Amino acid sequence: MKDMKKEAFIGFDVSKNSHAVAIAEGGRDGEVRGDYRCGLVAGSCR
């Protein structure tokens, strides 16, 4: 199998009232693959 290298960026935004996580492909034109947000209520983050 061909040796493939992949690059991704993961960003976290943490505040008192909510959390957010974003996952994007590498490169200037990388597509955002995930954008997850949740509040601080038990069970709201999955």
Half-sphere CA count of 32, side-chain side, radius 13 A: 6
pLDDT for res 40: 66
- 1-36 pLDDT, tens digit per residue, is 566 667 888 998 888 788 888 888 888 888 887 778
Please return the burial class of 24, using the count of CB atoms within 10 Å of its CB with bins 0-12, 13-18 and 19+: middle
Residue 43 clears pLDDT 70, i.e. is over it: no
Residue 37 CB neighbours (<10 A): 12
Which residues sit opposite 35 in a β-bridge? 22
- Residue pair 8/24 in contact by the 8 Å Cβ criterion: yes
The answer for 33, left when phi > 0, alpha when psi is -120 to 50, beta otherwise, is alpha
Domain boundaries, the chain: 8-39
pLDDT for res 17: 80
pLDDT for res 2: 67
